Amino acid sequence: MDALDKPATPTRTLIRRHSLTVRLSHWLNVLCMTVLLFSGLQIFNAHPSLYWGQYGADDDPSFIAMEAVEEGDTVKGITRIGSLSFDTTGVLGVSAVDGEQTARGFPAWATLPSYQDLATGRRWHFFFAWLFVINGLTYMAYGFVARHFRRDLLPTKDELTPSHLGHEIADHARLRFPKGEQARHYNALQKLTYLLVIFLLLPLMTATGLTMSPGFNAFAPWLLDVFGGRQSARTLHFLTAFSLVAFVVVHVAMVLASGVFNNMRSMITGRYAIHMQPEGEPKP
């Protein structure tokens, strides 16, 4: 093949994708959310049932429950969601502790600390909760002052059209990711997802956490009315936390599928590699 007939070779270009503030807040969030999840499950295990309303106790109907049920000489773990019941022995309700099947909402490997200790779990949870809030407020301030939200996360009108969103959903389902100029910025699905997490899920998790605090109730008693009671706030806190876990699982899966090294470099150094197709044919 003649040199003039050869297709143009894409050029690799490093672009600045993430600022230092975004990168630092991202990794601090990773630390905080990990500790908050495991310590939160430790707290949940003290009473592994969720209710709607102001009150919740053993005789009140629960919305979600992880129970240990005796059947003859054996103990089964039963997880109830509304009127549905599932046998979750070995994972939820009943799991092995020191080789013995023990009544426990979540298993030992999923809680911090691994052994049953509500006081220690609460100390871990509260410390990292405030660190998480401070980090979030810092990121929010940066996002507005540096116009990060408007520049990087606000979708355009064209991106919000049904045809465009449908095309992006189809591409994601086929694991087809943006190339060239399109890879310089987040796509519409990424923008909408990040905005949902930043401005809905994270504030909701924070607000419901504060609603469960009797001390904060004295400062803002109206929060109890907003969420319909302390037990409703606890249930919403739990559901929001697991919505964030689902987001993280999908987020990590997309990072793995679209290029681990490139994505990790962008979140560590701020530099992201894109491949540009040169215009025209290369000169001989």
Q: Which of 19-33, 77-91, 92-106, 113-127 has the lowest mean pLDDT?
A: 92-106
Q: By CB neighbour count within 10 A (0-12 exposed, 13-18 middle, 19+ buried), where does 72 fall?
A: exposed
At residue 249, the pLDDT reads 95
Compute the average pLDDT of residues 42-61.
Answer: 85
CATH architecture of 8-47+107-276: Up-down Bundle (1.20)
Per DSSP, the three-state class of 56 is coil
Q: Rounded to the nearest 5 degrees, what angle is found at the Cα of 137, between the Cα atoms of 217 and 129?
A: 55
Tokens of 240: 């929001």
* Residues with Cβ within 8 Å of residue 275, at least 6 apart in sequence: 10, 11, 12, 13, 179, 180
> Beta-carbon neighbour count of residue 188 at 10 Å?
19
Which pLDDT tens digit goes with each residue over 55-85? 776 667 888 999 999 887 888 999 999 989 9
pLDDT band at 176 (very low <50, low <70, confident <90, very high): confident
pTM: 0.88
Closest CA to 35 of 121, 107, 118: 121
Compute the average pLDDT of residues 172-195.
Answer: 87
Going by the DSSP 8-state scheme, the letter that residue 183 receives in this structure is G
Respond yes or no on whether the N-terminal peptide bond of residue 113 is cis (omega within 30° of 0). yes
The set of long-range contacts for 44-48, using a CB threshold of 8 Å and a minimum separation of 24, is 44/105, 44/106, 44/238, 45/104, 45/105, 45/106, 45/111, 45/116, 46/118, 48/93, 48/104, 48/105, 48/106
The set of long-range contacts for 85-92, using a CB threshold of 8 Å and a minimum separation of 24, is 92/66
The residues spanned by each domain of the chain are 8-47+107-276, 49-105
Q: Please state, for a pLDDT cut of 90, what percent of the chain lies above it.
A: 65
Tokens of 140: 């929010």
At residue 5, the pLDDT reads 56
Compute the average pLDDT of residues 36-56.
Answer: 92
* Residues with Cβ within 8 Å of residue 50, at least 6 apart in sequence: 56, 62, 63, 64, 65, 231, 234, 235, 238
For residue 236, pLDDT beyond 80: yes
* Residues with Cβ within 8 Å of residue 201, at least 6 apart in sequence: 240, 243, 244, 247
Tokens of 174: 């086929």
At residue 72, the pLDDT reads 79
Q: Which of 11-15, 46-50, 252-256 has the lowest mean pLDDT?
A: 11-15
254: enclosing H helix or E strand: helix 230-258
Q: Are 77 and 91 in contact (CB under 8 A)?
A: yes
